[in-house]
Each structure stands twice: as structure tokens, then as C-alpha cells.
Amino acid sequence: MTAAAQPHRIAVAGATGRMGQMLIEAVRAAGDCRLTGALERADSPALGQDAGAFAGWASGVRVSADVRAGLQGAQALIDFTRPEATLAHLPVCRQQGVALVIGTTGFGDAQKAQIAAAARDIPIVMAPNMSVGVNVTLKLLELAARALTTGYDIEIIEAHHRHKVDAPSGTALKMGEVIAAAQGRNLQDCAVYARHGHTGERDPSTIGFATVRGGDIVGDHTVLFAGTGERIEIAHKSSSRAGYAQGSLRAVRFLAGRKAGLFDMFDVLNLR
């Protein structure tokens, strides 16, 4: 950051959660960013505490449940919470002109429409996974899917920690969407999310999903293109949430100076 440049002023939602703490540490370590707000639920025991207390440093920012106050002075909010929380933050960001980076997953179509409507007034990056590596993996899947249109059964296997509440993961669904679109299909028409009992032979036109939940797995995703006599596997494995945090900061930088629009990490990373 040059002497004349001003830091990106960032608020973090879910500030005391695992991802929130990782984001706060990433903002602290970045030379071009500054923490200005830390949001939490109204019943959080951390309300009023310094947002950096978990790491033993004084950020000067207090954890708050007051969204309007927490966004005061912020240029961007990074939100990895739950759909209902993100949608509660959305209108306040819209009213106060705060850009939004959404890593929350599990939105329904109507909820996504609310976000798209808000993007007419503020800039938003929304992606099921902010990791740079995951988004490069999505690009590789797009290329593979175009070449492997026939003769290959496609299965997506994902694993996450025991606390994750939605399944399949947003990243797994995004992988399925990318593959289906690359083959001229709609994921809703070909996805299989569960198998049990006498299922019969596999329909070669389907894209299958398998979900694993356990322990503290940060996030593993593997896509199988299983053909006759060979199998191609494209996988991404996360050992920490640091990659999600760094990708989120790249999204904040991408949004700086933009007035409005709905973007994803392909836009941020110039992968179109």
C-alpha cells in the first residue's frame, strides 16, 4: 500500500466463530486492510469484548449485535454466517452503501433473488467458496466436463466437519452446476443426492453427490469422472480456513471503487 493509499475498511460478521476469527486475523496481517466492525448474534457472550481478544491483541473494535453501528465507517462486510443472518445484514449494507462479500451457503432461490436485487445498488461478491484454489479447481472441472461429455460417470464427494448444517456443501453444488453447464445441462434435471436400497443401474446422464460429515474436516471435495478402463479425479482439500480468508480479502479489493453489481470469484480471479 502506498503512502497515499487508504486501507480497505472491513467489518466481519460472525466475528467470534471459527471463520470470523480467521478473517479478523487475515485483516490484521494484511497491510492494506483495517478492521472497523465485528458483528455477532444478540445472545453472544462476546458482546462488548474486543474483537481481537481471542488472539491476545487489541483491535480497538468491540463485538456488537447492532448491525448499523457495526457497519459505520466500513467499506465492506465479509459474511460467512447463516442465510437468515446474511439476509438481515443485506438491507443495512444496501442502505449504508457497504459492499458485501458473501461466503454463506444454503440460500434458496428466493433468497438469492433478494441478494441479486440488492446488487442493483451495492457491489456484492457471492461465492460458495472463496478459496482461490477451489475456484481454479472449478475452472479445471469446466474444461474436463467439456471434453468428457460421453462415456464417463460423474460423482462428487464432499466431506466437512460435524458442525456443518447444510448438505451437499455449497462448493459441491457449485461444482455440479459448473459441470452441468459445461455439458449444456441443468443440474436440477440430472442431480442425484441420495441412494438407498435397490436403485437399479446407474443412469449415465446423472451427476451423483455423496456427503461425509465428521470431526474437524475443514473441507474436502473430489470429482470422479469414471470411464471404462480409466478414472479421472480432480480434488481440492483444505487444511485450514486461511485460504477462504485470503480469497475474501481479494474479493474486497476487487469490489473497491465499484458502485453495484453481483459478482463471483471467477470475476475476482479473472477466470471467465
CA dist 35 → 9, 73, 130 (Å): 6, 10, 19
> Is the pLDDT assigned to residue 2 strictly greater than 90?
no
Q: What is the pLDDT of residue 121?
A: 98
CATH no. for 8-126+241-268? 3.40.50.720
Q: For 181-192, what is the mean pLDDT?
A: 97
pLDDT digits (tens, 9 = 90+) for 48-104: 999 999 989 999 999 999 999 999 999 999 999 999 999 999 999 999 999 999 999
Q: Which helix (H) or strand (E) holds 227?
A: none
Nearest to 259 by CA among 75, 71, 123, 103: 123
**How far is the C-alpha of 19 from the C-alpha of 182, rounded, in Å?**
31
164 assigned to active site: yes
pLDDT digits (tens, 9 = 90+) for 128-160: 889 999 999 999 999 999 999 999 999 999 999
pTM for the structure as a whole: 0.84
Q: For 207-231, what is the mean pLDDT?
A: 97
**Angle between helices 132-147 and 170-182 in degrees, nearest 10:** 30
Q: For 251-259, what is the mean pLDDT?
A: 97
Catalytic site residue from 8, 89, 160, 236: 160
> Is the pLDDT assigned to residue 4 strictly greater than 70?
no
**How far is the C-alpha of 115 from the C-alpha of 86, rounded, in Å?**
9
pLDDT digits (tens, 9 = 90+) for 160-181: 999 999 999 999 999 999 999 9
Q: For 249-267, what is the mean pLDDT?
A: 97
Phi first, then psi, for residue 53 (nearest 5°) are: -60, -35
Provide the CB-side half-sphere exposure for 52 (13 A, CA).
Answer: 14
Pairing state of beta strands 76-79 and 123-126? unpaired
Domain boundaries, the chain: 8-126+241-268, 132-238
Specify the amino acid at residue 37: G
Q: Which CATH number fits domain 132-238: 3.30.360.10, 3.90.1300.10, 3.40.50.150, 3.30.565.10?
A: 3.30.360.10
